Structure 1
Amino acid sequence: MTPPAHLQAALSELLGDARLVAEPLPGTDLKLWLIDADNMDRAFNPDETRRILEDPPYWSFCWASGLALARFLAEHPEWVEGKRVLDFGAGSGVAGIAAVMAGALEVVACDLDPIAIEACQANAQLNGVTLSYSTDFFAEEDRFDLILVADVLYDRANLPLLDQFLSRGKQALVADSRVRDFQHPAYQRLGILDALTLPDLAEPWEFRKVSLYHAVR
């Protein structure tokens, strides 16, 4: 299967010999275009390291929290069935695609990065589903039943966003493995889910434990 040309070109600019491959996600019926695992199992030269740090191709990974949230929606479709959903910081689009497959009425994949939007489009096509797209969360109307959020709190500077999600949706589901025990009066932890990042980055065990939070206004 040939990867999308523009996404492959964007990845090649960062890592010349890296390739996108269509990989099934364990425990789901989904596939994503992901960076090939063999390419991650090597040392990066200084130029590659600099480019990755300056412009990380996060859309070419399925991060643990996204995988955990996708599995959760497959097991509990009642969270999204017949509802209007926005996937915030969509990245690869894994959570939004899972929501469509679980019966959501509408899913908007929202990400600031235009390359991430292209990744969402390619992955939606790979899975035979339809998404809508947005690059500005705050330009969206307050019309969503649920806001999905996965792998956004890796930077603690993003914690104030927790106050904003309910400005556009009636409820929010937040999956995170980096700031797992945040305290916020609107959010309650539903549980801890097991997952890993793909390709496997050999992350510490604590980053394979994903906390799932729920907020309702």
Structure 2
Amino acid sequence: MSPECLDQHLRKTLSRGRVAVSRPAGCSRIPLHLFDPSVLDGPLSHDEAQAVVAEPAYWSFCWASGQVLASWILDNPGWVADKRLLDFGSGSGIVAIAAALAGAREVIACDLDPASLDAVAANADLNEVSVTLCNDWQARPDGIDVMTAADVLYDPDNRPLLQIFRSAVPTVLLADSRVRDLGDNCYEQQTIVEARTWPDLNEFEEFNRVRIYVAQQ
């Protein structure tokens, strides 16, 4: 998958958009094709702003939770080594790539957005790892040992995913900066790490505190 293809996806919502290779501060060991903020010489036009809000290219940013979970996996490879892993809501693919680098037997990146899966493919190529792509959680393969999910609780309607994840796989590694209390005691907090979305979107400080949890059957 070429960076030019990612540029084409980005320009569907931002005519000046393009990607560039950068290393997120929260996980600098993994380079990614991400939104290049240097294209914004001035403020967005009204039409550009409306397009970005209507169809945000989530995959073109590396969110704080993804950076922290990717870095944690690289530092704690025992959770994923020799395992078959599914990364839910993969976005840029940083967590999936970290799992592959940490020795997972197979990594499946799952995302509904075709542009995200193109980004995962391009970023996996950049890091010289192999990642399987899946566009439907319901069509996931059998035999998943571990699943990862970062920053998927931004919508309150997504809270039931916590129980769905636990029922589906033996081990869940979750990172989130949006919800202070998950309301599910099966998820045990491991650590809290400060990180910022890359490129920085100047979000509220409370969204820069990432909590990592583990749930096991």
Seen in structure 2, the aligned counterparts of structure 1 residues 188 and 16 have a Cα distance that, compared at 3 Å, is same
Aligned equivalents of 2:82 and 2:147: distance in 1?
A: 14
Give the TM-score, by structure 1 length.
Answer: 0.94
- May I ask how many residue pairs the two structures share in their alignment? 216
Could you tell me whether the CA contact under 8 Å between 2:6 and 2:18 is conserved in 1? no
Cα deviation, residue 38, structure 1: 2.5
* Bigger mean CA offset, 122-131 vs 37-46: 37-46
Gaps spanning 5+ residues in structure 2: where?
Answer: none
Seen in structure 2, the aligned counterparts of structure 1 residues 136 and 167 have a Cα distance that, compared at 3 Å, is farther
Partner of 1:8: 7
Aligned equivalents of 1:72 and 1:157: distance in 2?
A: 27
Seen in structure 2, the aligned counterparts of structure 1 residues 40 and 63 have a Cα distance that, compared at 3 Å, is farther
Give the TM-score, by structure 2 length.
Answer: 0.94
Gaps spanning 5+ residues in structure 1: where?
Answer: none
| One-letter identity of the residue aligned with 2:66 | G
Aligned equivalents of 1:40 and 1:212: distance in 2?
A: 33
* Residue 120 (1) aligns with residue 156 (2): no
Partner of 1:180: 180
Could you tell me whether the CA contact under 8 Å between 1:142 and 1:169 is conserved in 2? no
Partner of 2:152: 152
Could you tell me whether the CA contact under 8 Å between 1:156 and 1:179 is conserved in 2? no
* Bigger mean CA offset, 108-117 vs 32-41: 32-41
Partner of 2:143: 143
3-state SS of the aligned residue for 2:193?
A: strand
Q: 1:122-156, CA deviations, whole angstroms, 9 ceiling, x for partnerless residues?
A: 00001111000111112224411111000111111
Aligned equivalents of 2:41 and 2:208: distance in 1?
A: 19
Q: 1:174-207, CA deviations, whole angstroms, 9 ceiling, x for partnerless residues?
A: 1011113211132121221121100011122211
Could you tell me whether the CA contact under 8 Å between 1:67 and 1:95 is conserved in 2? yes
Q: 1:62-109, CA deviations, whole angstroms, 9 ceiling, x for partnerless residues?
A: 000000001101111111111110000001111000000111111000
Structure 1 segments of 4+ aligned residues over 4 angstroms from their partners: none
Q: Percent identity between the aligned chains?
A: 43
